[in-house]
Chain A
Amino acid sequence: MNAINQSILTWILLAPLAGAVLVVLVPDRKKLPNWIALLTALVTFGLTLHLPSHFAYGQAGFQFQTSIPWIEMPGSNSAIFYHVGIDGLSLWLVVLTGLLAPIGVLASWNAITERRKIYFALFLVQQTAMFGVFISLDLMLYYGFWELSLIPMAVLIAMYARKDGPKAALKFFLFTFIPSAPLLVAILWIYAQTHSFNFVTLQYWIASGALPAGPLCWAAFAFLLAFAVKVPVFPLHGWLADTYSEAPVALAMVVAGKLGLYSMLRFHIGLFPVQARALAPWLIALAVIGILYGACLALAQRDFWRLLAFAALSHLSLIVLGIYGFTFTGSAGAIYQILNHSVIDAALFVLLGLLYDRYATSQINAYGGLASNLPRTATLFVITSLAMVGLPLLNSFVGEFLVLSSTFIGVSRSWAVWASLGVILGATYMLWLVQRLFYGPKSEMATSQPAPDLRFGELAVLCPLALLMLVMGVAPSLWLQAIEQAAHPPQPKVTAIFHQGTIHSTFAVSLSSREVQR
Chain B
Amino acid sequence: MNPVPDVYRILPEVVLALTGVAVMLIDATLPFGFPRRPLGWIAAIGTTLALWASLWQLSLPQGTGFYSTIETSAFTIFFHVLICGIVLVALLLSLDSLPEDSHHQGEYYALIVFGAVGMCLLTGAVELLLVFIALEISSIATYILAGYRKATGRGPEAAIKYFLLGSFATAFLLYGVAMVFGATGTTQIYEIARLAPSATNHSLVLAAAALMLVGILFKVSAAPFHVWTPDVYEGAPGPVVALMSTAPKAAAFALLLRLVFELFPSLHSIWTPLLWAVAVLSMTVGNLAALRQQNVKRMLAYSSIAHAGYLLAAFAGFGTSGIAAASFYIAAYAAMNVGIFAVITLVSGYDEELPFIQDFRGLIYRAPLLGSLLIFFLISLVGIPFTGGFFGKFYSFSVAVQGGAVWLAIIGLLNSGLAAAYYLRLALVSVQSPESRNGEPSLPRPHVGIAVGAALAFAVAASLILGIVPGEVLRAAEAGAHSLQAPPAQNSAPLDDALTPQER
* Residue positions of A touching B, CB distance < 8 A: 71-75, 77, 115, 118, 140, 143-145, 147-148, 150-151, 154-155, 158-159, 165-166, 169-170, 173-174, 177-178, 180-182, 184-185, 188-189, 191-192, 215
- B382 closest partner in A (C-beta): A177
A-B contact pairs, 18 of them (CB 8 A): A72-B471, A72-B474, A74-B475, A75-B320, A75-B324, A145-B385, A155-B427, A155-B428, A159-B432, A159-B433, A165-B432, A166-B425, A166-B431, A178-B420, A181-B416, A184-B394, A185-B401, A185-B409
Tell me the residues in window 422-476 of chain B with beta carbons closer than 8 Å to chain A beta carbons: 424-425, 427-429, 431-433, 469-471, 474-475
Q: How far does the Cβ of A76 sit from chain B's closest Cβ, in whole Å?
A: 9
Q: Contact at A182–B410, with CB atoms within 8 Å?
A: yes
Q: Contact at A77–B375, with CB atoms within 8 Å?
A: no
A140 to chain B: which residues have CB within 8 Å?
394
- A183 closest partner in B (C-beta): B413
Do A74 and B427 form a contact, CB below 8 Å, given A143-B385, A144-B386? no
- B432 closest partner in A (C-beta): A166
Q: Contact at B501–A72, with CB atoms within 8 Å?
A: yes
Flag whether B477 is at the interface (Cβ < 8 A): yes
B425 to chain A: which residues have CB within 8 Å?
166, 170
- State the CA gap A166–B422 with chains docked (Å): 12
* Residue positions of B touching A, CB distance < 8 A: 320-321, 324-325, 364-365, 368, 375, 379, 382, 384-386, 390-391, 394-395, 397-398, 401-402, 406, 409-410, 413-414, 416-418, 420-421, 424-425, 427-429, 431-433, 469-471, 474-475, 477-478, 501-503
Q: A71: which of B402, B420, B421, B474 is its contact (CB, 8 Å)?
A: B474
B416 to chain A: which residues have CB within 8 Å?
181
Q: B474: which of A74, A118, A155, A165 is its contact (CB, 8 Å)?
A: A74
Q: Contact at A174–B324, with CB atoms within 8 Å?
A: no
B375 to chain A: which residues have CB within 8 Å?
155
Do A71 and B471 form a contact, CB below 8 Å, given A148-B384, A148-B386, A181-B413? yes
A184 to chain B: which residues have CB within 8 Å?
394, 397, 413
A170 to chain B: which residues have CB within 8 Å?
421, 424-425, 428
- State the CA gap A189–B431 with chains docked (Å): 37
Other contacts beyond A180-B417, A188-B401, A215-B406: 12, CB < 8 A: A73-B398, A74-B321, A74-B325, A148-B385, A154-B424, A158-B428, A159-B432, A165-B432, A170-B425, A173-B420, A181-B417, A185-B410
B502 to chain A: which residues have CB within 8 Å?
74
The 10 closest A-B pairs by CB, nearest first: A144-B385, A181-B413, A178-B417, A166-B428, A75-B321, A192-B402, A188-B401, A158-B428, A159-B431, A74-B478
Q: How far does the Cβ of B360 sit from chain A's closest Cβ, in whole Å?
A: 12
- State the CA gap A163–B321 with chains docked (Å): 49
- State the CA gap A115–B431 with chains docked (Å): 11
Q: Contact at B409–A147, with CB atoms within 8 Å?
A: no
Q: Contact at B421–A181, with CB atoms within 8 Å?
A: no
A75 to chain B: which residues have CB within 8 Å?
320-321, 324, 478
Q: Contact at B420–A174, with CB atoms within 8 Å?
A: yes
> Which of B424, B429, B502 has most chain A Cβ within 10 Å?
B424
Q: How far does the Cβ of A141 sit from chain B's closest Cβ, in whole Å?
A: 9
A150 to chain B: which residues have CB within 8 Å?
384
Q: Contact at A191–B398, with CB atoms within 8 Å?
A: yes
Q: Contact at B394–A151, with CB atoms within 8 Å?
A: no
Q: Contact at B432–A74, with CB atoms within 8 Å?
A: no
Q: How far does the Cβ of A71 sit from chain B's closest Cβ, in whole Å?
A: 6
A159 to chain B: which residues have CB within 8 Å?
364, 431-433
Q: How far does the Cβ of B130 sit from chain A's closest Cβ, in whole Å?
A: 30
A148 to chain B: which residues have CB within 8 Å?
384-386
> Which of A148, A150, A177, A180 has most chain B Cβ within 10 Å?
A177
A192 to chain B: which residues have CB within 8 Å?
398, 401-402
Q: How far does the Cβ of B396 sit from chain A's closest Cβ, in whole Å?
A: 10
Q: Contact at A174–B429, with CB atoms within 8 Å?
A: no
- B383 closest partner in A (C-beta): A147
> Which of B417, B431, B477 has most chain A Cβ within 10 Å?
B431
- B469 closest partner in A (C-beta): A71
B474 to chain A: which residues have CB within 8 Å?
71-72, 74
Q: Contact at A177–B417, with CB atoms within 8 Å?
A: yes
Q: Contact at B428–A185, with CB atoms within 8 Å?
A: no
B321 to chain A: which residues have CB within 8 Å?
74-75
A191 to chain B: which residues have CB within 8 Å?
398, 401
Q: Contact at B428–A74, with CB atoms within 8 Å?
A: no
- State the CA gap A147–B413 with chains docked (Å): 13
A147 to chain B: which residues have CB within 8 Å?
384-385, 390
A74 to chain B: which residues have CB within 8 Å?
321, 324-325, 395, 474-475, 477-478, 502
B477 to chain A: which residues have CB within 8 Å?
74
B429 to chain A: which residues have CB within 8 Å?
166
- State the CA gap A13–B470 with chains docked (Å): 21
